[in-house]
């Protein structure tokens, strides 16, 4: 009887504690993302604005589980940038040993990178992986988006089904180097000073007012 009372009391206490405890929430998985980064290291999250006149961007996956294949498409402003090369990232492994690939095209008159495909043969890629490297050369001092969102870019799992991920674009935002700006500022300043000085001299040596 005493044992029964102890068990009953313990059960009631456990029920009361359980009822008063807030419900546990399931921990959310980290956001899976494909983005345009500035370094080849897949473990460094570095979506940035590119500012130099010659640069390489790295298309990287982050927190992507069961990633086996990809198809890269990218749009950019062809009047601002010239895409000079597209390469497959080292995380794919050795071509036709670790993965198969079908190289796409660079459409420089349209400003697009089209259908650079790859698929792993024996194992998924790491959840953080560098998939592509893209080289650009600046043509003029304007800006351009490096757009992967809204394009046919796809990531595939082992079953060749689409993986839903956030796609984050990159941006080219040119920055005038000081070595270019400083001489220009000096020339403009000297020109303005000379013009002002000339006007002042003309006022001093101009014709005298006529006497009546």
Which of the four pLDDT bands, split at 50, 70 and 90, describes residue 48? confident
* Over residues 37-61, mean pLDDT: 91
Span 178-190, pLDDT tens digits:
555 555 556 766 7
For 7, 9, 10, 16, the CA distances from 3, given in Å and listed in that order, are 6, 10, 11, 20
User: Residue 135's CB: how many other CB atoms inside 10 A?
Assistant: 14
CATH number of 53-172: 2.60.40.680
Q: Quick check: pTM over 0.85? A: no
Residue spans of the domains in the chain: they are 53-172
* Over residues 117-136, mean pLDDT: 97
The token pair at 183 is 């001489």
* Over residues 178-206, mean pLDDT: 60
């Amino acid at each position: 009887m005493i044992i029964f009372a102890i068990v009953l009391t313990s059960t009631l206490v456990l029920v009361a504690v359980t009822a008063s405890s807030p419900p546990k929430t399931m921990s959310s998985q980290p956001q899976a993302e494909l983005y345009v980064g500035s370094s080849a290291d897949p473990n460094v999250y570095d979506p940035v604005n590119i500012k130099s006149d010659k640069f390489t961007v790295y298309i990287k996956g982050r927190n992507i589980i069961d990633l086996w294949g990809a198809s890269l498409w990218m749009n950019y402003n062809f009047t601002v940038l010239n895409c000079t090369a597209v390469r497959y990232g080292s995380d794919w492994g050795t071509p036709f040993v670790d993965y198969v690939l079908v190289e796409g095209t660079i459409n420089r008159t349209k400003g697009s990178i089209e259908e650079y495909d790859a698929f792993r043969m024996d194992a998924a890629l790491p959840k953080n992986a560098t998939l592509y490297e893209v080289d650009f050369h600046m043509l003029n001092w304007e800006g351009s988006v490096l757009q992967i969102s809204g394009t046919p870019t796809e990531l595939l799992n082992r079953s060749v089904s689409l993986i839903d991920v956030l796609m984050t674009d990159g941006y080219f935002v040119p920055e005038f180097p000081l070595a270019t700006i400083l001489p220009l500022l000096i020339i403009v300043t000297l020109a303005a000073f000379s013009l002002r000085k000339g006007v002042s001299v003309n006022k001093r040596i101009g014709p005298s007012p006529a006497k009546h």
